């Protein structure tokens, strides 16, 4: 009877684990040659079929060649060493999203929870902490608090803290900009999305093409010159408008920072030097044998006509954190965030 209960427990636990999407990767686990072969072939298929444009920097041949060298290698591999080898190849895709990652045994795959904050620092400064553009409910709530505080009192300075922002969905960035921009903005010059495959994909493509304003080519759906109208209910006057950033800015954060700086915000922080990431809409694939995950980009979004923009070409910080007034603001924000945690 006890053994029956134990077996039932194991069965139910395994079923629940599969339902909630928990995966385990034992890093020291050795991989057989045929397992490596199947995973590399599966990855190559997805790179060529599901990435927006693997050859966007004329590097596809080299990327596939290096994957073939892993395929042909006779060296013994563990999951960890396999991940490291794939990572050194995929970093060459250079789109800011494509990457490989695994999870230690027993670690759950889940999205981290972030704290969105809108508050006053003192009588003159209001600030917003936006940790990501993944939760539209949290963004809307934060913006409502921003509107209420500005309605009750007139502030001289607004500060948006993008430090640690994890990026997110472009349409949520657009919603944020509608509230924060003071003038009409061309949100993007061109938006290209890789067409979906299969019967359901064809239906989705048809709906986007016929009813959602997309145009279509053989392989992509696209739109041109999308403009954003500012929400007049959120139009408040400030003497100073400040954004705080990290040295690495992820796609959605970069998109928001780029447009807000053009609208008069001053950007402070270490100068970003990584890719100005115009790729997004991540597709997550699971390599079946190693149980590693690879994120692929299925769209490109261009904010100007320079299709290969980099951070250094697109965004110049107006100063760093050593400026005395910025240091004072940082100290006040960090103290406020600490208080909000407790």
* Strand 266-268 relative to strand 240-244, pairing: parallel
The per-residue pLDDT for 113 is 53
Structure-block tokens of residue 40: 């590399």
Q: What is the pLDDT of residue 309?
A: 54
> CATH classification of 117-184+229-275+310-341 is 3.90.226.10, yes or no?
yes
**The CATH number of 22-110+282-296 is which of 1.10.3470, 3.40.30, 3.30.750, 3.40.390?**
3.30.750
What integer best gives the mean pLDDT of the chain?
Answer: 83
User: What number is the average pLDDT over the span 310-337?
Assistant: 84
Residues contacting residue 234 through CB under 8 Å, at least 6 positions apart: 143, 146, 147, 178, 179, 180
Q: Where are the domains of the chain?
A: 22-110+282-296, 117-184+229-275+310-341
- Which pLDDT score, from 0 to 100, does residue 188 have? 87
Phi, psi torsion values for 199, nearest 5 degrees: -65, -50
Q: Which residue has the higher pLDDT, 202 or 277?
A: 202
Q: Which of 341, 340, 328, 338 is nearest to 159 (CA)?
A: 328
Predicted TM-score (pTM) of this structure = 0.77
Task: Calculate what percentage of the chain has a pLDDT beyond 70.
Answer: 83
């Amino acid at each position: 009877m006890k053994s029956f209960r134990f077996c039932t427990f194991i069965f139910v636990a395994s079923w629940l684990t599969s339902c909630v999407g928990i995966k385990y990767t034992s890093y020291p686990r050795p991989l057989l040659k045929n397992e490596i072969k199947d995973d590399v072939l599966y990855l190559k298929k997805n790179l060529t079929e599901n990435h927006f444009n693997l050859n966007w920097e004329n590097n596809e041949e080299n990327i596939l060649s290096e994957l073939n060298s892993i395929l042909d290698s006779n060296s013994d591999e563990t999951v960890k060493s396999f991940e490291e080898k794939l990572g050194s190849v995929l970093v060459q895709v250079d789109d800011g999203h494509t990457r490989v990652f695994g999870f230690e045994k027993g670690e759950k795959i889940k999205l981290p929870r972030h704290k969105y904050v809108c508050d006053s620092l003192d009588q003159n400064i209001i600030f917003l902490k936006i940790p990501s553009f993944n939760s539209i409910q949290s963004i809307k709530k934060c913006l409502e608090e921003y509107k209420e505080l500005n309605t009750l009192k007139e502030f001289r300075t607004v500060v948006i803290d993008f430090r640690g922002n994890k990026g997110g969905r472009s349409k949520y960035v657009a919603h944020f900009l509608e509230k924060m921009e003071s003038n009409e903005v061309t949100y993007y010059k061109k938006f290209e999305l890789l067409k979906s495959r299969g019967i359901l994909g064809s239906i989705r493509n048809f709906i986007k093409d016929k009813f959602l304003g997309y145009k279509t080519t053989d392989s992509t759906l696209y739109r041109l010159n999308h403009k954003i109208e500012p929400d007049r209910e959120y139009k408040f006057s400030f003497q100073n408008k400040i954004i705080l950033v990290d040295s690495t800015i992820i796609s959605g954060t970069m998109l928001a920072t780029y447009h807000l700086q053009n609208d008069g915000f001053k950007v402070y922080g270490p100068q970003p030097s990584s890719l100005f990431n115009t790729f997004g809409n991540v597709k997550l694939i699971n390599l079946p044998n190693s149980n590693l995950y690879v994120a692929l980009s299925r769209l490109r979004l261009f904010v100007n006509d320079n299709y290969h923009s980099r951070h250094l070409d697109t965004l110049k910080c107006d100063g760093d954190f050593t400026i005395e007034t910025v240091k004072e603001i940082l100290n006040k924000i960090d103290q406020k965030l600490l208080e909000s945690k407790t």
